[in-house]
Amino acid sequence: MAPFYDSIERPTLLLDAARARRNITRMAEKAQRNQLRFRPHFKTHQSAAVGEWFREAGVTAATVSSLEMAHYFAEHGWNDLTVAFPANLRQIHLINALAQRVHLQLLVEHPVAAQFLATHLTAPAGIWIEVDAGYARSGLRWNDRAQLTALARTLADCPTLSLRGLLTHAGNTYAARSPAELATAYQSTVDRLNDARTWLATEGFPGLEISIGDTPACSVLDDLGAVDEIRPGNFVFYDWMQVEIGACHADDVATVVACPVVSIHPERNDLILYGGAVHLSKESLLSRKGQLTFGAVVLLTEQGWSAPLEDVWVRSVSQEHGVVHAEGAAFATLLHTAQVGGLLGVLPVHSCLTADLFKQYRTLEGQTLSMAPIPGSLG
Amino acid sequence: MAPFYDSIERPTLLLDAARARRNITRMAEKAQRNQLRFRPHFKTHQSAAVGEWFREAGVTAATVSSLEMAHYFAEHGWNDLTVAFPANLRQIHLINALAQRVHLQLLVEHPVAAQFLATHLTAPAGIWIEVDAGYARSGLRWNDRAQLTALARTLADCPTLSLRGLLTHAGNTYAARSPAELATAYQSTVDRLNDARTWLATEGFPGLEISIGDTPACSVLDDLGAVDEIRPGNFVFYDWMQVEIGACHADDVATVVACPVVSIHPERNDLILYGGAVHLSKESLLSRKGQLTFGAVVLLTEQGWSAPLEDVWVRSVSQEHGVVHAEGAAFATLLHTAQVGGLLGVLPVHSCLTADLFKQYRTLEGQTLSMAPIPGSLG
């Protein structure tokens, strides 16, 4: 094990900085090859230190998921920020403070929000119409032409608002389980956004951009098609979900939770970890083998951690407990290394939620990297 | 709406102090009627201020789920604490510091842990053998008599350790969906613990106590049977899961997340909330009507909040988004009140995880109550 692992006493979020930097470089290069603006989503890492690695890769624009996160990164020198969440009108004073300070872009999808911003915004902001291209979370449906036009008109009437384009989160790529399925889902999204763009051009709103963001498509596809901007976020760390989707290899995953082993139950091939829902989150997935999984299991090594162990997985979590199960021979093998008082690593199912719970990282060099504070502590 | 609701800008965890105090009083009285020690689990609220309400109800002993939480409550004057989690040997220095300062009780279920504590503990601590009475999380199986005896012998050999009794978390009551099912599950657990107690008495370890803790059984049953201590935790706030189980009524639930409404989609009866997995957690349940539910929905009122709305529920969450769905007429009714820029309330599925994410409460009187800091910030 890396020397400082001996000092780990409780569940600790480890970060392999070299892997994260490699993930960043790879995606930045792909954006460049596709001649796209790269505006990575920072909600995954929420850390100014990790933001610096993006800056070193030439990135100057970022996406965030809350105004508090925008404030945090503005404090750390980021001055071109898109808040990729429908504008929260109750925070208009924070929106105005940010619009005065940085190049702020907001999302609008509802006429009430457009009207409110048109009358309450005191500094200029770029506006993206959020489009639902089939995922059915937030966004105006791509083929709701009357609403698209009405929204664009409301926005055009206001001098502080400048309509930049159409933005979507193509969350449906997460359901794909092969590159072909993924390419089809992505292409459908791009086509629908381009339909909406063409429509708005004929309605007198030419030159709109298209912004799209999801880690699976941006990772797997070489040609990102007729779009202007990509906003993937998760790729900086990846996670077990992305491995299962096929968006990355297990050795691209840059975070692992080091968990103390507190008990072993040979009678049922289980091992009890100090590491539960308040560390990993309750995100789960059904593995290709049909196992409900709250995390993959790795051994901690001199260099970081091993490949995920075959037939070993976190089968349940409660507030502080994680129960690791190993099938057949895998349990015997696991017992060669695992012992009460030792450590095991868990590759999280969803690294964004896991990072959000820890609020800090420990790099393999033993350095602690801090993250944005919990919102609500801000003014 | 209560006057201060106007000032709520972002997802905010509301706490109805009167309901929480009523829940506390009711459980304290039940423990008294049953002549049991009441050692409530503080992992649900994690707040010194809420701890004071317990103290006012005559409570002097508490349960926590981590050594950091024990440290926090020790700082706030609690000196009789059980850490209801298998002893984490990697934190032996914190165990020793706490054992020196308060009446500390630890859980042991593995011979390696017993041996380690016997040789490394520098101040006296009470020890409970954690017993698995059928839930298959942590604990020694109730009928594994050889191991029970071996563990008791190891503990008896060490002067700093005093064996107090047998402890279990009867998590299987959470699967019950009627008082009769619940009573059966609880009785089976109590019988199994008493079997183990009788066995150990014949092996030369008489006078052991039995400690049991789960909110559903402690809430529903009048007679808690042949046990010495109860450790329920969730009952202080309850949540939507407990309502579905039948452990409480909806008007016993003492916490709600106030969420800004950021969009409305009449074409699919959906409403988008600022309130997602980083606020509510990803805990879900399948409702009696077969709906996958991430929270029940209430209206915020002058007095606090309304009863949960029929046929309205949080159907999905992502990092910051919550999608509320309403069936048929319920959607039209919801639109009488809900508007973009307004607030809706969400009764969490699992209040322990939701509270852990917020790290603070806002009472209906507008007061902010803080919680234990994120572990890791300690020493």
The candidate with the shortest Cα–Cα distance to A320, out of A262, A252, A379, is: A262
Radius of gyration of chain A, Cα coordinates, nearest whole angstrom: 22
Q: How many Cα atoms within 13 Å fall on the side-chain side of residue A40? A: 32
What pLDDT, on a 0 to 100 scale, did the predictor assign at position B1? 62
What CA–CA distances, in Å, run from A129 to A83, A156, A159, A230, B248? 12, 12, 17, 15, 44
Q: List, in sequence order, every residue forming a beta bridge with B256; answer none if it has no partner.
A: B14
| Homologous superfamily (CATH) for A3-12+254-366 | D-serine dehydratase-like domain (2.40.37.20)
Q: Is the ipTM of this complex over 0.90?
A: yes
In chain A, what is the greatest distance between 2 CA atoms, to the nearest angstrom? Answer: 71
Give contacts of B136 with chain A, Cβ < 8 Å.
268, 270
What pLDDT, on a 0 to 100 scale, did the predictor assign at position B237? 98
Are the CB atoms for A156 and A207 separated by under 8 Å? no
Which residue has 């609403």 as its token pair? A147
Percent of chain B residues topping a pLDDT of 90: 90
Instruction: Report the residue count for chain A.
Output: 379
Q: Which amino acid is at A299?
A: L
- Do the domains A3-12+254-366 and A17-236 sit in the same CATH topology, yes or no? no
Are the CB atoms for A257 and A279 separated by under 8 Å? yes
Establish if A32 touches chain B: CB-CB under 8 angstroms. no
Instruction: Report the residue count for chain B.
Output: 379
Mean pLDDT value across residues B29-38? 98
Residue A246's Cβ-count burial label (10 Å; 0-12, 13-18, 19+) is middle
pLDDT band at A176 (very low <50, low <70, confident <90, very high): confident
Q: Are A10 and B281 a contacting pair at CB < 8 A?
A: no
Give contacts of B359 with chain A, Cβ < 8 Å.
374, 376
Chain B 120-179, residues with CB within 8 Å of chain A CB atoms: 136-138, 141, 144, 171
What three-state secondary structure class fits B199? helix
Mean pLDDT value across residues B278-289? 95
By Cβ distance, the residue of A9, A87, A267 closest to B91 is A9
Number of A–B residue contacts, CB under 8 Å? 165
Give contacts of B267 with chain A, Cβ < 8 Å.
141, 144
pLDDT digits (tens, 9 = 90+) for A16-26: 999 999 999 99
* A70-79, B255-264, B283-292: range with lowest mean pLDDT: B283-292
What pLDDT, on a 0 to 100 scale, did the predictor assign at position A172? 81
Give contacts of A341 with chain B, Cβ < 8 Å.
89-90, 112-113, 116
Q: Which amino acid is at A8?
A: I
The CATH number corresponding to B3-12+254-369 among 3.40.50.620, 2.40.37.20, 3.40.50.300, 2.60.40.10 equals 2.40.37.20
Element (H, E) at A101: helix A92-101
Q: What is the distance between the alpha carbons of residues A377 and A357, in angstroms, rounded to a whole number? A: 16
What pLDDT, on a 0 to 100 scale, did the predictor assign at position A135? 85
Torsion of CA A290, A294, A296, A302, to 10 degrees: -170
Are the CB atoms for A191 and A226 separated by under 8 Å? no
In chain A, domain spans: 3-12+254-366, 17-236
Percent of chain A residues topping a pLDDT of 70: 98
| Homologous superfamily (CATH) for B17-237 | Alanine racemase (3.20.20.10)
Output the average pLDDT for chain A.
95
Q: What is the distance between the alpha carbons of residues A229 and A31, in angstroms, rounded to a whole number? A: 8
Q: Which two tokens stand for residue A354?
A: 């896991």
The candidate with the shortest Cα–Cα distance to B305, out of B270, B367, B248, B253, is: B253
Q: How many Cα atoms within 13 Å fall on the side-chain side of residue B111? A: 10
What three-state secondary structure class fits B222? coil
Class of domain A17-236: alpha beta
pLDDT digits (tens, 9 = 90+) for A360-371: 999 999 999 999
Q: What is the distance between the alpha carbons of residues B211 and B107, in angstroms, rounded to a whole number? A: 11
Which residue has 């103390």 as its token pair? A260
pLDDT digits (tens, 9 = 90+) for B130-171: 999 988 888 999 999 999 999 999 999 899 999 999 999 988
Establish if A96 touches chain B: CB-CB under 8 angstroms. no
Residue A333's Cβ-count burial label (10 Å; 0-12, 13-18, 19+) is middle
What three-state secondary structure class fits B378? coil
Q: What is the pTM of this model?
A: 0.97
Specify the pairing of strand B343-348 against strand A304-305: unpaired
pLDDT digits (tens, 9 = 90+) for A190-236: 999 999 999 999 999 999 999 998 999 999 999 999 999 999 999 99
